[in-house]
Structure 1
Amino acid sequence: MRWLPLALIPLPLLAQPVFPPAEFARTDPARIELGQLLFYDPILSGNQEVSCATCHHPRFGTGDGVSLSLGDGAHGLGPDRVADPENLPEQRIPRNAPGLFNLGATEFTHMFHDGRLEADPTRPNGIRTPLGDAMSEGFDSVLSAQAMFPVLSADEMAGHYSENPISQAVRMGHLSLAGGAWDQIAERVAGIPEYRARFDQVLGAGAPIHFTDISNVIADFIRFEWRADRSPFDLYLAGEAELPEAAARGMDLFYGDAGCADCHTGRFQTDHDFHAIAMVQIGPGKAARFESHARDEGRMRVTGDPEDAHAFRTPSLRNVALTAPYGHAGAYATLEGVIRHHLDPIGSLYAYDRTQAVLPVLPGVEDWRILDDPQEMAAIAAANELEPMELSDDEVAALVAFLEALTDTAGAEGRLGVPESVPSGLPVDR
């Protein structure tokens, strides 16, 4: 049977299956349970205060409910997270924490908003990373490999320069070298009896524990925990349920006149490509510490191609109603707001309402530098690919209703949930 893109299927036929089944690798339950504990355990961070779940929590749709996160140097969860006045973060994390839904499906071959980590069969280990081929060895997948970045980031998990042995190793560039940051993290984990016993079960008794072993089981957990492909939309396609009237009108627009499916295509509503849509830039930008600007040029930072300036990955829309704020910098607090941006990207860029940003207080930062720079704003506008279009308020509301019909409640809650405790004995973000 030949599968057609959903955008090409006449609406009366939409009750028929239009996608091949999503492919997810099967995983050993022991590995999943071990990955769950490590995902919620702050033991992986330099100061033992930040876990993966700090910025990717089920309470906030596997994000953290803010535009730009505060990592090391802050306390609390989600919008209630506050900076520690005795150890202030140096800056906000430059990009919005993306959701984790369906990242274990085989079609997700690029990670991060700019796709800087990607599956690449031409590379020695099958993964392309800006850190080089030596840093990709031992990872089972790109989903596993993405775990290397937060633990090596001073802003996210490693901690301020030189304030703990892991942050010191990161500052000196001792990452995957013997005795470097990864080895120190693995030694911490191996030194906890319950983790040692659990790794004995999945690796073999007494087998050395490497950082890649830790990231591989975390990836197994994410793949299992946040699979989300049983939404009302999926049930409708399978002929098991009807969509509410408003959602059905929104689906008609999404796959029809509104043109959403030009980019948000496929089972998970993404073409896995990169597009410039004049998305609003707030916060510190993705710049090196020595750079003074707050610019984030997106995919161009990866490819070096000016044609990729200000282009970012098309996000999947599964459980999108739960993952606000929206955009690579989390500029829009609501689905309606980000939809209206798509209708008139350049106009929306220049008319941006700064109260939409959800930014925990961080003294001394300049969050609006790009918005206040006419040249930078003009560069973002010039890269825009989308033509303006008009939709009525009722049509926008119908699109919101359809996007809400992409919510898989069971997938959003997670299958194992948040553990009561973790083997390190450190506090769990609940």
Structure 2
Amino acid sequence: MLPVMAQANDLPAPLTADQFHPSDPEKARIGQLLFYDKILSGNRNISCGTCHHHDLGGTDGLSLGIGEGGVGLGPKRTAGVGEDRIRKRIPRNAAALWNIGHKSITNIFHDGRLSISDLYGNGFNSPAEEWLPQGLDNITAAQALFPLTAQFEMAGNPKENEIAGAVHDRIDAAWPIIAKRVRAIPEYADMFAAAFDEINDPQDLTIVQIGNALGAFINSEWQSHDSPFDAYLINQTPLSEPAQRGMDLFYGKANCASCHSGPLFTDQKFHALGLPAFGPGRTRRFDPMPRDVGRMGESDALEDAYRFRTPPLRNVALTAPYGHNGAFPTLERMIQHHINPTASRKIWTRDMANLPEAPWLQAIDFTIQSDTREMARQNRVLDITPIALTPNDIADLESFLHSLTGSSGNKRPLGRPNSVPSGIIVD
């Protein structure tokens, strides 16, 4: 049986540059330097770019990242040694940054814990609640501030540095310390004064301008709307035959577009896919189990348990591994899981997870799988109805997903800087 052809009214409208938050080039240039400058981290040993690197499609190529204390880049990154070694893996896969500057984005992170809202009077509902400062330009600028305060991502451990200690007191206590570090570097102080009208003196530089500079960079740098699929939408340039068949499946029998909808291929909602469980979990103070309850960790609503945000799919072929915990190393494996999650879990093996060696952590990497009650709870929550697809169908779907890769790929407007004003070596 041939797949039903995708109809024009099934397809999204073309993605264009005017749909994104505008970015001032001077601010974006500052943001590029800050993105790769380890001065923003507690121990000056990790940057945003370490886990969202240009050479790795804006990610780190790992299932669960190696954050503060690690050494190296991407799949070759090690967990550190001695007193500096990591104390915990990053609980979730480093999400790609592609197109998060689109004006339609209303929430960010796998659990949506940052969203646009008037609840706290600063434009956002976030982990910082009313302590998130006002004046952030958009959700990307707000998002950029939170890895800086995360212990295992960039802040470091309490007693190691003043930023980590401040976060331990209250999340917003760290941001003035970071801003002070940046404005103490003359090159940054001059660049901020030139780019931001509200800065007349270095003392005027706050975490707000730092967030807005990072946001300007991310919003402009990681735009992608020049893929073969875009050429098909705009000019009816034919896709390859396998990609065309895959598109028909995507919008038809395979029902992928029921969640991966719109120009970004995400409904921005939360769904349970039943991924294999592993890693340290995103634990809460009252729940130390190494599990990840997904959206429920933000909402405290039981109906949100084990549900995660639908990831956008543009440039997805550049951002392996896949899933909120990076459980699957290839698109083929991830598609197979969507077809039949229960069968997929049964054949999943631990070596599919790309976890850099850390012997002192390996005892807990898969310990959650021995908790039969927790596994039963997770297995009961599933928002996917199994369907029957042939191996050829899977290959065609994968071809279509490759057609979402921008022709510019990893060739970004600014790219990775060779050096940064702090003088710290760039990853």
Map 1:20-169 → 2, pairs under 5 A:
21=16, 23-86=19-82, 87-169=84-166
Task: Name the residue aligned to 2:193.
Answer: 200
Deviations 1:37-61 (A, max 9, x none): 0001000001111000000012111
Say if 2:122 and 2:132, in contact at 8 Å, map to a contact too. no
Contact 2:122 2:130 survives alignment (8 Å): yes
Matches within 5 A, 1:316-327: 316-327=312-323
Q: Is the 8 A contact 1:15 1:236 kept in 2?
A: no
Any conservation in 2 of the 1:342–1:386 contact (CA below 8 Å)?
Answer: yes
Contact 1:299 1:308 in 2 (8 A): yes
Question: In the aligned structure 1, how far is the partner of 2:238 from the partner of 2:118?
Answer: 42
Residue 236 (structure 1) aligned to one of 232, 237, 244: 232
What CA distance in whole angstroms lies between the structure 2 residues aligned with 1:122 and 1:171?
A: 24
Is it true that 1:275 corresponds to 2:268 in the alignment?
A: no
Counterpart in the other structure of 1:369: 367
Closer, same or farther: CA 168–13 of 1 in aligned 2, 3 Å? closer
1:258-300 residue CA offsets vs partner (Å, 9 max, x unmatched): 0000100101111111001112221000003674311111011
For residues 155 and 409 of structure 1, what CA distance do their matches in structure 2 show? 35
Comparing 318-327 with 198-207, greater Cα deviation is found at: 198-207
Which secondary structure does the structure 2 equivalent of 1:82 belong to?
coil
Q: Does 1:185 align with 2:178?
A: yes
Letter in 2 for 1:102: N
SS in structure 2 opposite 1:413?
coil
Aligned residue for 1:118, secondary structure, equals: strand
CA shift, 1:325, in A, is 0.7
TM-score (norm: length of structure 2): 0.94
* C-alpha distance in structure 1 between counterparts of 2:356 and 2:11, whole Å: 46
Matching residue's letter, 1:187: K
Which of 341, 345, 369 lines up with 2:337 in the alignment?
Answer: 341
Q: Is the 8 A contact 1:45 1:157 kept in 2?
A: yes
- 1:330 deviates by 0.6
Once the 2 structures are TM-superposed, how far is the Cα of residue 385 of structure 1 from its aligned partner? 1.3
How far 1:181 moved relative to its partner? Answer: 1.3
What runs of 5+ residues in structure 2 fail to find an aligned partner?
none
Q: Secondary structure at the match of 2:393?
A: helix
After superposition, what is the alpha-carbon deviation per residue over 1:204-248, rounded to whole angstroms, capped at 9, x for unaligned? Answer: 331511112101110100111010111100001111522111101
Within a 5 Å distance, the mapping from 1:2-13 to structure 2 comes to 11=6, 13=8
* 1:401 correspondence with 2:394: no
Alpha-carbon deviations, 1:78-124, whole Å to 9, x = none? 01001221211110000000000000001111010000100014541
2:380 aligned partner, one-letter code: A
In structure 2, distance between residues paired with 1:255 and 1:15: 7
The counterpart of 2:385, out of the listed 369, 373, 387, is 387
TM-score, with normalisation over the residues of structure 1? 0.93
The separation in 2 between residues aligned to 1:302 and 1:389, in whole angstroms, is: 31
Distance in 1 (alpha carbons) for counterparts of 2:115 and 2:59? 21
Deviations 1:361-396 (A, max 9, x none): 112221112222221211111110111111100000
The residue matched to 2:19 in structure 1 has which SS? coil
Counterpart AA for 1:89: I
* Secondary structure of 1:238 counterpart: helix
1:212 aligns with 2:205: no
User: Is 1:315 equivalent to 2:320 in the alignment?
Assistant: no
Between the aligned partners of 1:300 and 1:252, the Cα distance in structure 2 is 34
Partner deviation per Cα, 1:140-199 (whole Å, 9 max, x = no partner): 2221111222111110101122111111112232x32xxx31111111100111100001
Contact 1:64–1:78 (Cα < 8 Å) also in 2: yes
Q: In structure 2, the residue corresponding to 1:409 is in which secondary structure?
A: coil
Maintained 8 Å contact 1:15/1:237: no
**Structure 1 unmatched ranges of 5 or more:** 1-8
Secondary structure of 1:75's counterpart equals: coil
Specify the code of the residue in structure 2 equivalent to 1:192: I
Q: Is 1:292–2:288 an aligned residue pair?
A: yes
Q: Which amino acid aligns with 1:371?
A: Q
For the 8 Å contact 2:15–2:225, the answer to whether it is kept is no
Deviation, 1:26, is 1.9
Calculate percent identity across the aligned residue pairs: 44
Task: Read off the aligned partner of 1:399 and give its amino acid letter.
Answer: L
Tell me the distance in 2 between the aligned counterparts of 1:293 and 1:17: 41
How far has the Cα of 1:250 moved from its partner?
0.4
